[in-house]
Structures are given as C-alpha cells and as structure tokens.
Structure 1
Amino acid sequence: MNRIFFLISLGVLAGACSRSAQVTGTEEPGMFLTDSLKRVVSVDTVRYRPVADELTLTGRVAFNPEKVAQVYPIFGGTVVEVRAEIGDYVRRGDVLAVIRSGEVAEYEKQRKEAQHRLALAHRNLHSVQDMAASGMASEKDVMQARKEVGEAEAEAERLAEVFSIYHVSGGANYQVKAPLSGFVVEKHVNPEEQLRSDDGEEMFTISGLENVWVMADVYESDISKVGEGDSVRITTLAYPEDVIAGKIDKVYNMLDEESKTMSVRVKLDNRDYKLKPGMFTQVRVCGRGTDKERLCVPSHALVFENGRYYVVTVASDDRLAVKEVEVYLHSDEVCYLSSGLTAGERVLNRNVLLVYNALNAG
C-alpha cells in the first residue's frame, strides 16, 4: 500500500511538473494521468445502463432433508457403548452404538429354539422316510414330516432376517448402525443410558453435507422482486471473500405467521464442506433490468467523505479532477447516478482513494 501511494504521488507530481512546463500565460498547472500512474490505476467510461435493483436477504444454511437420516432405538435396553460423536464422519454400516436388551435376549432364545426345532424336524423326516421305505410309514406321514420341516425352516429364516435387519450380534446385544454415509450432526445418547423402544427422541441424526440448502427470508414488501430462477450471490461471515453463485429454485408461497416473511430456497454444491448447517448468509438477489436507464459507474469508482460521494474524472487531455456526484442506487458492483456526470466521461475505478487524497492534498 505504501508503494502504491508513493507511485501515485510520484505520478501526480510528475504529471503536474511536466504539464506546467508546457503551459504559458495564465494557464495553471494541473494533475494528469501519467504513464507511471496508469500502472496502478484503471479507467472506466460513464455509460447508461438499465436500472437493476439488487435485493439483499438474510439467509441460513440448512440440511438437505433428502440426505438426512434419524436413527431411533429398535429395542429398549441399556447403552453399552457409543462409538460416534457429533461432527464425526461415518460410512453406511458403521456401528454407532451397542445396546444390551432383554427383548434381544428373548429373540436369541427364540432363534435357538427354532434351530433346535428345525434339527428335530429334519431328523424326524429322515426317520419317517426310512420307515416309509420299509413299509412302516405311509406317504401321508412323510408329507406331514416334510411340512414340519418347512414350518421350522420358515421360522428359522424369519428370525435370521430379524437378526440381520436389527443388527443383533448375539447374546443380548444389538448394534445401531449408520443407515447412510455422512456427518453425525445430532447425538442424544450416552453410555449406561436406559432406552425405550417407544421413545420419541432420536439417538443420532446423520446428514450428508455434499449438498446443502440456503433458506432466505423475503419481507412482504419485497415478494414481487423475487422469483424462481433468479440469480443470487451468497456470502458468509466465515468466508467473506468467497462469493457463491446460485439460483432460487423454489419459492415457498406462504408467509410465516410470526415474522411475516416468505422463504426462498437455493440448492448449493458443498463438496468441500465449507458451508455448515446453521451458518448465517447474505443472499443478494440480482435484480431484473427495467426499461429505465441511468448513468452508471463501477462502485469502486466512488469515494465517500463527509456524507457525500465523489469520483476522480479523467479529461480528454488526461487532466485529473474531483467531482461530486449524487447517487440514485448503490450495489456491490455498480452505482447508478442522479447527477454529477455525463455519458462518455472517464473515471478512475482502482486505487481511487489514494489519487483522491493526493489531489486534495495538492
């Protein structure tokens, strides 16, 4: 910054001296845009542009509900082990917790009984088939034995499916596993905690954060200014220099009873996981152009001092001058003017403040 100020001061002084040597009579020396100064500033032309209002909304990052899973206890019991904490990344099938349950113990008992009945049914079938071969049992007896085997197999398969679905690991324990890959964003369980199967509170909430939603609130007076498909630019407090481009993909056509605002949604790719659910955002909706045109300059061309706006103009002979302007509408990128300039004039739009200070000092 000091080097730039030195170059600007040097350029302004050099311009003033070189031009003053050429003037005669009563012509006063001025400050000019010299070759050295051109290396640290840039010039833009004042032109007419359709007025596009930019609406700034307050938003927040939210989970994508399509990628959220809440995990509840299947059976009541005591929490033996918790293997996941808030913020952990888990893969589908990873064990989140282990629970010891009397209900699971009952299923284990039923499974052993079913396996025992199946073994007896198979032995009985073999015995009946042998007896039928020697004429000591009828075909009806064989069919009945086969039916008993089928029923025993069905019960054993049913219980095996229960063990598979509910991740019963044997004995009285069962495992609570992640139903999808993502981050643990909520956790409401601790070791030795007593759980009930009818408890309405989830143990874990898991969310994939590769895609998130930004929900923004629109006041009633601004509803007509937004619509589906409108382009937006989103910034956050955490990354103020990163501007994320997106589009409004859904307008919720209802007002909140308390805040009297309408919500709009922007879906964003978040593969770098920078956006965290709960973050506040600033959502700038790019306004739609109107038939009304006004003179426009880059916002960087403005200098604000003592409640007034100024620009540094560049004349046809490269003479620099400070002019006061009246602002009609100001956005991050452009500024629409009410008065002070005419179309075709040139203004500085980089390092303007340093040149402005140098001119005022002179």
Structure 2
Amino acid sequence: MERTPSLYIRRLTLALTLSLTIGAVLNASTAWAQSPPPVIAASAELKRWSDPIEALGTLRADESVTLSATVTDTVAEINFHDGELVDAGQRLIQLNDTEERAQLRAARALEDERRNALNRVTQLQARNLSARADVEDNQAQLRQATAEAEALEARLANYRLEAPFSGRVGFRDISLGTLVTPGMELVTLDKLDVMQLDFSVPEVYLGELSSGLALTATSAAYPDDAFNGDVATVGTRVDPVSRSVTVRAEVDNPSLRLRPGMFMQVTLAPTPRETLVLPESAIVPEGQHHYVWYLDAGDNNRVAWREVKLGSRREGEVEIVAGLERGDLVVAHGTERVREGQTPELLGVLNDDTSVSELIRQERR
C-alpha cells in the first residue's frame, strides 16, 4: 500500500513539535541549574549540653507519722479539723486524765510534806538536837516522793497527743467520748511543704548522679506544671535483678498541691558538657547515615556533601560527634535545592540575633 503525502506531513509536524518541546525543557533546566539557589546557613557552635535522664517515681511526705494512743481512756478534747494545718507542739487530742491528775496532786502534797520534814530535821541537827541519820532518811524520803510525782507527770503526757512537727492532719475518725486503747490509730500528720521523691535509675547512669543534681517532676494531675527539686541521696546498693539504683530527691511543694503516693515523671539534668550543635533541619538522613550540605567558606561557599556522626538530640537541635569543626557552615534551610559543587545564594546565618522566620521571609522575597 502506498503512503499518502498527508501521512508524511502529520509525522513531520509531530517530530518538529516534540523537538521544540524537548528543547524548551532542556533550556529551562539549564537556566534553573545555572541560577544559584537561595539558602539559609547555620554554624556548628559549641554549646552546653546534657543528656536528660528520665525515670518514674513516687512521692513521700518529708515527715509522716500516725499518732496512736498508749493508754486506755476516753477522748475528752479534739482540737483539729479534717485536713487542717497545725503547728509543732499543738495539742490535737486530750484524753480523760482526771484520775491521774488527782494522783499527781496527792504526790505533790506528799513531796511538800517530806520537804518540810527535812527542813525541820535539818534545823534540829544544826543545833545538835537530831541525829545525822535522821536528816539522811528524810532526804531519801523526799527524793522518793519527787520521783513518784515526776513519774505521774510523765504518765500524764501520754494522755495528750501533740503534733511533733508542723504539717497537715488527715481525717478525724474519732469523736468525743470514744474509748481508745493502746496502739489505736487516732490521726495522721504529714509534713508537705517539702516532698521526698523516690525513683530508680539504671546503673549505667550511676557516674552522673550526685547530691544536688537538679531535676524536674511532672504529674498527670497537673499536666501544665513542672515541680523543681534536687537529688538528696543516691542509694548505696544496686539492685542485682533490675540493675538499677534508688535515688531520693527533695521537691519543693509550697502550694501543698502534691500528695504522698502520687506518681511522678522525673527528668534529671546531669552536669552539662560542651559539644558541637547544629539545627536538626540541617541534617539529611540517608538510611543509617546522616549528611549535611557543607559550605566551603574558602571557595565562595561551594556546596559539598559531607557525612556526620550524631550524638544526642533535643528539641530543634542535634549533637555533632564527628564530621564538622567549630565554625563550619552548613545549609540549614534549602537543603532540597542545592547540589554538589553549586555556589548558592546565602541569605543569612542562623544565630541568637536572627530568627529563622526573618531569614525565611527574606528568602521568599
């Protein structure tokens, strides 16, 4: 079959169109490749850095006691309300001590009687009208009476329950007239202005723990608040099963919002070290490796593809262990635009005085 001229014309037209389209694309690509891409750089700088240690702990009151009865009698006075703040030495509960007070008065009366008898015998002995032995006998009797009175006074103290320290009392579960017996729990008292926080840390961090190390603690009860504290004591033994050491910290609780038994999330801040730091945006991951676009300041900031080794991370920043030196410039914004060997348009260098948003606005112009 013969091919018509119109078929040749259509094919020729199609070939010319494709040729022109490919040429236009190549010209555009060449123009794009030749134009320097705008970038924002960051400098590898030495900064103070510490790897946070996270743990879970439980709160305990700095001081906690349950006051119990040591004698059998009825409750005569209750001088506190549920959850009340009390001062050290404040009387909380008074038991009926009428009989014991009567016995004390009798003992004091006997003590006074024997003291007067001793005075009379002493005066007689001074005039040689009494034997020395009589004086000594009366002295012994006076000491005995005094001791009996002091013993009764000590027993009277068992009928008074006083706060051994300032704190907050718990619920009142007794009433006036309640018969109490030795060992019966009457009221709890907790010192809450400072809390003890116990938590466990893996033994690998033992070398970084010391008294005075700062920490922050958070609770689900107050998700927007962080409570500050310091390590008070590091345990003397490592648990052979969990391979962890117990740490006790003191956490300030001026508002008394924290309670014993609360579950806390703890973040320790070990002694900081100086290390090279870059913004996370400068890191380009590829598989198990990490790279940066290095700007060679000695060659008009020509771009070079360089592998780096990373250490720890924190919000917005990453530690550089190897691959860069202090002061080296890398591309922080615009990493997807540059290619090996290019000389980009440097819009600025991130630092404490220039914000990222400001440099990005300049880039968009």
1:150 and 2:142 aligned: yes
| 3-state SS, counterpart of residue 236 of structure 2 | strand
Which residue does the alignment assign to 1:329? Answer: 312
Indicate if the aligned counterparts of 2:81 and 2:172 stay in contact, CA closer than 8 A: no
CA distance 1:248–1:118, shift in 2 (3 Å): closer
Which residue does the alignment assign to 1:179? Answer: 164
Which amino acid is 1:158 matched to?
E
Which residue does the alignment assign to 2:130? Answer: 139
Indicate if the aligned counterparts of 2:55 and 2:266 stay in contact, CA closer than 8 A: yes
User: What is the 5 A alignment of 1:76-155?
Assistant: 76-100=72-96, 104-118=97-111, 120-121=113-114, 139-140=130-131, 143=135, 146-147=138-139, 150-151=142-143, 153-155=145-147
Which residue does the alignment assign to 1:214? Answer: 197
1:195 and 2:188 aligned: no
CA distance 1:143–1:294, shift in 2 (3 Å): closer
CA distance 1:31–1:79, shift in 2 (3 Å): farther
User: What is the 5 A alignment of 1:253-332?
Assistant: 253-255=236-238, 261-273=244-256, 275-287=258-270, 295-297=277-279, 329-332=312-315
Which residue does the alignment assign to 1:39? Answer: none
TM-score, normalised by the number of residues in structure 1: 0.56
CA distance 1:178–1:258, shift in 2 (3 Å): farther
Cα offset for 1:211?
A: 3.1
CA distance 1:94–1:194, shift in 2 (3 Å): same
The size of the alignment, in residue pairs, is 289
Alpha-carbon distance in structure 2 between the residues aligned to 1:126 and 1:246:
64
1:56 and 2:42 aligned: no
| 3-state SS, counterpart of residue 212 of structure 1 | strand
| 3-state SS, counterpart of residue 263 of structure 1 | strand
Cα offset for 1:154?
A: 1.0
Which amino acid is 2:57 matched to?
G
Alpha-carbon distance in structure 2 between the residues aligned to 1:288 and 1:117:
69
TM-score, normalised by the number of residues in structure 2: 0.56
CA distance 1:257–1:149, shift in 2 (3 Å): same
1:252 and 2:235 aligned: yes
Which amino acid is 2:67 matched to?
V
CA distance 1:120–1:344, shift in 2 (3 Å): same
CA distance 1:337–1:257, shift in 2 (3 Å): closer
What root-mean-square deviation, in Å, do the aligned CA atoms of Structure 1 and Structure 2 show? Answer: 5.3
Cα offset for 1:252?
A: 0.9
Cα offset for 1:257?
A: 7.7
Cα offset for 1:338?
A: 9.1
Which residue does the alignment assign to 2:27? Answer: none
Which residue does the alignment assign to 1:228? Answer: 210
CA distance 1:264–1:145, shift in 2 (3 Å): closer
Cα offset for 1:234?
A: 0.4
Indicate if the aligned counterparts of 1:236 and 1:282 stay in contact, CA closer than 8 A: yes
CA distance 1:51–1:125, shift in 2 (3 Å): closer
CA distance 1:205–1:351, shift in 2 (3 Å): farther
Compare CA radii of gyration and give the structure with the larger one: 2
Which residue does the alignment assign to 1:38? Answer: none
Which one is further off, 77-86 or 155-164?
155-164
Which residue does the alignment assign to 1:322? Answer: none
Structure 2, gaps ≥5 residues long: 1-30, 283-292, 298-307, 331-348
Indicate if the aligned counterparts of 1:54 and 1:284 stay in contact, CA closer than 8 A: yes
Which amino acid is 1:336 matched to?
E
Which residue does the alignment assign to 1:17? Answer: none
| 3-state SS, counterpart of residue 282 of structure 1 | strand
Q: Can you list the C-alpha shifts for 1:40-67, whole angstroms capped at 9, x where unaligned? A: xxx9744366874322112233222xx4
CA distance 1:261–1:203, shift in 2 (3 Å): farther
Identity among equivalent pairs (%):
18
Which amino acid is 1:175 matched to?
R
Alpha-carbon distance in structure 2 between the residues aligned to 1:86 and 1:340:
64
Which amino acid is 1:228 matched to?
S
